[in-house]
Each structure stands twice: as C-alpha cells, then as structure tokens.
Structure 1
C-alpha cells in the first residue's frame, strides 16, 4: 500500500465490469477498501479506529457482511441485559467501522461492539485487554446471494445495479469492499493461532439457525453470563428475522429508513434462510463456486453447511 505518510495518494483500482457495474477501491494493508469520500480520509479514519481505547468489559462481534451480524448482535445484547427486550439503539451505532466509529466510542458500558474490519484495522489494545471476540461465519453461497440483494436494493452510492451473475463474478474474484470473503475468514482464524490469549469463539450461522438454544447458551457461557433455559427460549423467539425486522423499524439509523432502499425492497432483513442459494446459482456457477471454495479454504479445516 502507498501510505498517507509518504505524501502520495493511493492508487484507485477500478473493478467495474464492462457494463459499468461494480466499484472502485483503494488498497490498505492488502485489503480492498471502498471509500465514501477519499482514500486519504478513509485511511485517517482507520488509524483513528486503531487508536480507540477498548474497555475491559467490551464484547466484539466480527463478521464479513451478511453473515448474521445483526442477528448475533441482538442476541448478545439481550444476554448481557438479562432479558429479551430489543436494544433501543441500532446495531449501526455500535459498529467500529468508518465512518461512524465515533458513535460506538460514545456508547455507555457494557458495550456489544461489532465490525466487518480485519483484525489489523481494529483497536490496537484488543489483544492486550483480552476483549471477548465472537467470529460468525456463514456459508459463502448464501453470503453471495444475501450480499447481492442488499447492494442491489440500497440507493446509496455503493449499491449495485447489475445482475446476480455479474455480482457473483466480482464476489468470487474478491473484488468487494473488504476483499475476499475467504481471505477474511482465514485472516480471523489466523488471529486465533497467533494470539492464543485472545478469548475467541467461532460460530457458524447455520448451527445457530439449526439449534438456536444450544448456541445461545454457548454464547452466554463464553461471555460469562448466567441464563435460564426460559430466557434462552425467549431470546431465540425474539430474534427470528420477522420480529427483528419489525423491531428495527423504530430505531434511529440511516439503514433502517425506508427512503434508503429501492421501492419494494425489504431492507436489511431478507429471508435469513439456509440454502436459498439454490434459487440463484446455476449448475455451472455452483461448480465454479465449489472450485474456488476448495482452493481458497484448503488446509483451514473450515467445513460449511449449505442446506
């Protein structure tokens, strides 16, 4: 990367396809970054994120976009509160990512923070303070479909007006903000190896979907809160997608406003199902996807559930 300290502007990488669909990025420490204003501003904000002072009782959720961040954040927030009431604040206010990271810094303790950032872009005292960190992974085929529908539905400048087939080409090549999903997953798994003193829990979206009570209790044990079976059941019921969609309508955050989304789009929450990719991916695309998964995840031990 060309650093801002070197006095030079980073190279802009134009990854739009022949139809003009896609994005332009710059590269920061090997990671493709979409920029709302300029690369220089984005790099400045990332350095400010790295300098944030985490608190001993923080819990951090790390996830690539569309892997269940909202779902898990609401669950953890309820567990820490000891009830199944929805947070009055939206998840976006607790996000460490630019440009709204300062809102998270101003939240009162105890905080449930969340991020799509790579470890190297997060606060430098994350390991020192032994912040309890939960990584949630989701099968990449459903991630691609969910991410496409999100970006295809949003009116913001980083939206996507092309077809799913066009989007999938970009997704499999890692020409996305935050780069390749597989690199993101591998990077966080490497963090666990490099920093054994950092308390980390890895969850899979599909397991949480299949057995929410068991996984909610696993999360509760990890963050150190005592819960009853009844509370776990209430939280699981409160955090089904239709109820979260309704609950979030009254929250103050730009991504919950209907005017941010194209007409007819459901907003942040779509189906939340496992296996919906079968309605989108052709046989040929699936073979291509499987090839990329096999190559990219070789030796990681990651096994995804696809239905």
Structure 2
C-alpha cells in the first residue's frame, strides 16, 4: 500500500456534479467516504487481519451476488437451511468496524469486495479457500446504479443511469474498473496455484442452483445430501432471501436513515438480463466495444440473458 503521505484527491464528478471523489491506494480507486487517512487505516487493519485455517472467503465486485452466496455457504457449513440472524456485513473484512469478523465463531464465511492486494497477508500462506463470484457487467452496472441511487448517504448517486453508465464504463468507481477487478483475480489464481480458488458465475447459480451449491460444498470439503442442496436452493431463492432480509435479519431494524423510501436494501430484482430495460441500443454497442477491449485475453465468457 502507499505510504503515509497525503494522497492526491481525484474529482471524477461529471459536469452535473454527479459522481465521486477518490484517492488511489496501490493503483486502486478508493471512494472518499470520510477521509483517505481513515480508509487507509481500515485497509491496514484488513492486511493485519488474523485468518483461521478453516475460514472461507467470498470475493466479489459489488452487486455480483455476495449476499446470496454468503447465505448459501453459511447454510452449507451449518448443515441446514436456516437463515443466519446476522447479515453478511458482519463478516465483511473492509467494514470499518472490522472487529466483527474476529468475534464470529469458526467456521467463518468471510467476504470482501477488495482486490487481492488489499486482503489479509496470509491468505495464500494459509491456503484459505476462496470463491470468486462473477456476474455479467451489464447487469452489474444496472444493479450498482439502483443500489447507489437508493441511498441517502453521502456516497449515493443522484444522477441518471445514463450518467452512471458513463462513469462505470470509464472505471470511475470505487474499487476501480470491473474488468480490472476480474483480471486481477484471474492473475492471482495463475500466480498462486496453491491457493484453493473456485470461480462461479451468478448466471449459472441462478439457472441451476442445486448443481452449483453442490459444487461449492465439494470445494469447501463437505459431503452433503441432495435434499440439503435443494432445501438451501429454495431458502436462498431471490424472493425468500428478500423477505428474510426484511423480516429476520437483525440489521433490518430502523434502516430509514440509510435508504430512500421505496428502495429495498440489498435485493431489487436479481434477474439475468434486466439490463435490457435500461440500456439503449447505442449504449449497448458502446458497452460491447468496452467489454471486448477490456476483457480481451481474459478467457471469460459472460451470459447476458
């Protein structure tokens, strides 16, 4: 990570004032929510975070299904389809109150949106089982826009989707460009063959949840029945997870100070191909050009509908 000098502030708001200010930490754009110094201290804590041998880490770019997969893996490790009373934020490494994951009993299911370079130092040494969940970038952009547009907080986005898409395609986002994030993790897998790593796709998990849940179970070393996989798939259907998030999770209480009225916290539609309702023909052509250029050589084939 960069030194203690005061970092340069990059103002990437558009002509309408929509967007954010960032600083760079080890070449990754980091949104300035409080101060760069506070964020750098959070990242230092993450680097020092003490991993346990039986931890599992879920790595995702924002809006790629981290809540969904966290619930699935948590249920697999408990051996039932009951919802965890906590939200996955309690096990998220970069939440400023990062003592929360330390307080969780083993076996822990940790999660993060961070690049590999910002994660705990001993991730490879301890051979922590890591699951990378990817989603097609068009649906990511729509989901990310609706998430940020629904917030009341200072990092919300008040512009149109068209304005947001311009920033998204230019990589002017917290955690930087989606393609950079994906390619960075693919390089990690190539450079660290001893790191046990499973790559899943949101769209495959949506299409065939039972098969993918079994794949996850095998990866983390669990022998599970078909019945349990089916029960978890049902409990983690979008409709039921959305209800559980509102009615069961402890964090559901009194969220009116965070979200605008009518916006659900984490679950909106969860559909594959919703981007067609947002992206114009001209925008789609531009998007395709960017995807072809930015993901060239990555060997990734996304599913868009």
Q: What TM-score, normalized to structure 2?
A: 0.97
Q: Could you tell me whether the CA contact under 8 Å between 2:245 and 2:252 is conserved in 1? A: no
2:19 is aligned with 1:19: no
Residue 275 of structure 1 is aligned with which of 273, 289, 298? 273
User: Shift in Å at residue 253 of structure 1?
Assistant: 2.9
- SS in structure 1 opposite 2:29? strand
Quick one: distance in 2 between partners of 1:273 and 1:267? 16
2:22 is aligned with 1:31: no
- SS in structure 1 opposite 2:199? strand
User: Shift in Å at residue 254 of structure 1?
Assistant: 7.2
Quick one: distance in 2 between partners of 1:36 and 1:25? 9
User: Shift in Å at residue 279 of structure 1?
Assistant: 0.3
The residue aligned with 1:85 is: 82
Q: Could you tell me whether the CA contact under 8 Å between 1:139 and 1:306 is conserved in 2? A: yes
The residue aligned with 1:191 is: 188
User: Shift in Å at residue 100 of structure 1?
Assistant: 2.9
The residue aligned with 1:203 is: 200
The residue aligned with 1:306 is: 304
Quick one: distance in 1 between partners of 2:3 and 2:10? 15
Equivalent runs, 1:92-171 vs 2, <5 Å: 92-171=89-168
Change beyond 3 A, Cα 1:262–1:174:
same
User: Shift in Å at residue 241 of structure 1?
Assistant: 1.4
Quick one: distance in 1 between partners of 2:252 and 2:21? 23
Quick one: distance in 1 between partners of 2:193 and 2:244? 38
- SS in structure 1 opposite 2:123? coil
Quick one: distance in 2 between partners of 1:157 and 1:255? 21
Change beyond 3 A, Cα 1:66–1:256:
farther
Gaps of 5+ in 2: none
The residue aligned with 2:54 is: 57
2:293 is aligned with 1:287: no
- SS in structure 1 opposite 2:250? coil
The residue aligned with 1:66 is: 63
Q: Could you tell me whether the CA contact under 8 Å between 2:139 and 2:274 is conserved in 1? A: yes
The residue aligned with 1:231 is: 228
User: Shift in Å at residue 193 of structure 1?
Assistant: 0.3
Q: Could you tell me whether the CA contact under 8 Å between 1:90 and 1:253 is conserved in 2? A: yes
Quick one: distance in 1 between partners of 2:296 and 2:118? 25
Q: Could you tell me whether the CA contact under 8 Å between 1:61 and 1:136 is conserved in 2? A: yes
Query: How many residues align structurally?
Result: 304
Q: Could you tell me whether the CA contact under 8 Å between 1:118 and 1:188 is conserved in 2? A: yes
Quick one: distance in 1 between partners of 2:174 and 2:252? 20
Quick one: distance in 2 between partners of 1:209 and 1:2? 39
Q: Could you tell me whether the CA contact under 8 Å between 2:131 and 2:197 is conserved in 1? A: yes
RMSD: 1.3
Q: Could you tell me whether the CA contact under 8 Å between 1:255 and 1:268 is conserved in 2? A: no
